[in-house]
Structure 1
Amino acid sequence: MDAHFLAIDDLAEVPPVAVVVDVMRAFTVAAWAFARGAEKIVLAESLDEALELKARHPSWVALKDGPPSAGFDHVNSPGLLRAADLGGRTVVQKTTAGTVGALAVKEASLVLCASFAVAEATARLLRSRGGDSITFVVTGEDGRAEEDLACAQYIARRATGARTEAAPFLRRARTSRAAAELAEGVRRGVHPDDVALCLELDRFPFAMVASPEDSLMVLRPHPAPAPAPETSV
């Protein structure tokens, strides 16, 4: 497998397969939304689009980065979302990096959205459907976010079937700038458990696949394929 690790702005062309990584916190939150019963997640282009979608579909649940805001039901925090009842609901998500990255590769033949919470399921899906060339979109900090790069590199190794020790990758995420900002309250709309929840490896048994539906980019959970035999490296 030929893996490429690119920032959003470095995407010169549409990759055939893209894995968009946002550990802290967009795609950890998305995984929790599905675990809490959400049917699908609409990835919004802008805050205005998210509010317009919510206005047209009052039963939908809108969430965003930062502090609580009028028109939005939740903020982009796994700790705050984990108690929500989203059974059968559609969630509209707009974040600073994760949703932007997914929309940047919306024309790829396969788009996965990932975090440590769904790492193994994502790797298994890549083994079965990924092909020879996979582009990992490192969304945070203009492609320099250590937690996103660590997660992307871990998934890339697992996608080859290689036995891989997760601890060094999780350590990089735990000591990242994003983790420090969440822990120190630099970012708004944060729960004290957010960092720990973002570092829960393989918390959920599904991958997350994004694809166009009725002019919208929609994220849905996808069951992980059965595990393949691992190889030593």
Structure 2
Amino acid sequence: MDARFLSIPALAEVPSPAPSVAVVVDVMRAYTVAAWAFARGAEKIVLAASRAEALALRSRHPEWVALKDGPPAPGFGLVNSPGLLRSADLAGRTVVRKTTARTVGALAVKDAELVLCAAFVVAEATARVLRERAAGTVTIVVTGEDGRADEDLACAEYIAGRTFEPGTDAAAFLRRAAASRAAAERATGVREGAHPDDVALCLELDRFPFAMVAAVEDSLMVLRPHPVPPADGGGAAG
């Protein structure tokens, strides 16, 4: 098993067939938020291709709650902030979300046999699923800044490291993420749709004991938590 790191645009150049195993990484903040949604009780997250699709799904399923990037907007009950989401009661709820490249990244690999969505908060659980189930080449999609976002690339490389060398230490990867442009932008000032704790929450390592698996269900791309029992001897180093 080996890994290749691709941006979303580069996926279009990958010849058929689709990757057999794909990991879509977004640290700040889409998949950190997704993990928090599951921790707050959400049953599943439906990944919408557009804001209009998210609102249409919410209209057809009034019991669902919609989530978006940026400030609050009519029809959307949640925003893309782990700091704001951590107090939400989502027990048994379905979340339908539209974010930017992060949702698009998962949809771009929907034909893969296994699709995992990841951030630092579920890094070790993701690596354990890869160690147990993957063979051949793992395609890791680095979503931010057309594959150049250092917080996403650091997390992607860390997950790959933990997959192939379980002793890989997290410290240097977390430092890179903390020094990234995205972290700096979110740490300066307070804006609608964000919380001062968002960066710190995005840099928590292995906060949750589950991976997140996306698959097509009734023509929709659906993300669900995948519990991973703790390994003997504890979690990740670092």
CA contact (8 A) 2:209 2:229 kept: no
Q: How many residues align?
A: 230
TM-score, normalised to structure 2, is: 0.93
State the secondary structure of the residue aligned to 1:137: strand
Code of the residue aligned with 1:55 in structure 2: it is: S
* In 1, Cα distance between equivalents of 2:199 and 2:187: 7
Going from structure 1 to structure 2, the CA distance change for 1:111 and 1:187 (only over 3 Å counts) comes to farther
Q: For residue 128 of structure 1, what is the aligned residue in structure 2?
A: 132
Q: For residue 231 of structure 2, what is the aligned residue in structure 1?
A: 227
CA contact (8 A) 1:124 1:226 kept: no
Q: How does 1:34-183 map to 2 (within 5 A)?
A: 34-183=38-187
Q: For residue 194 of structure 1, what is the aligned residue in structure 2?
A: 198
Gaps of 5+ in 2: none
* In 1, Cα distance between equivalents of 2:180 and 2:86: 23
* In 2, Cα distance between equivalents of 1:110 and 1:162: 21
Matched, 1:20 2:24: yes
Going from structure 1 to structure 2, the CA distance change for 1:130 and 1:186 (only over 3 Å counts) comes to farther
What is the alpha-carbon root mean square deviation over aligned residues? 1.5
TM-score, normalised to structure 1, is: 0.95
CA contact (8 A) 1:211 1:219 kept: yes
Moved over 4 A (4+): none
* In 1, Cα distance between equivalents of 2:166 and 2:215: 28
State the secondary structure of the residue aligned to 1:10: helix
1:165 CA displacement: 1.2
CA contact (8 A) 2:27 2:202 kept: yes
State the secondary structure of the residue aligned to 2:24: strand
1:225 CA displacement: 4.9
State the secondary structure of the residue aligned to 1:106: coil
CA contact (8 A) 1:128 1:225 kept: no
1:226 CA displacement: 5.2
* In 2, Cα distance between equivalents of 1:82 and 1:186: 17
Going from structure 1 to structure 2, the CA distance change for 1:123 and 1:76 (only over 3 Å counts) comes to same
Gaps of 5+ in 1: none
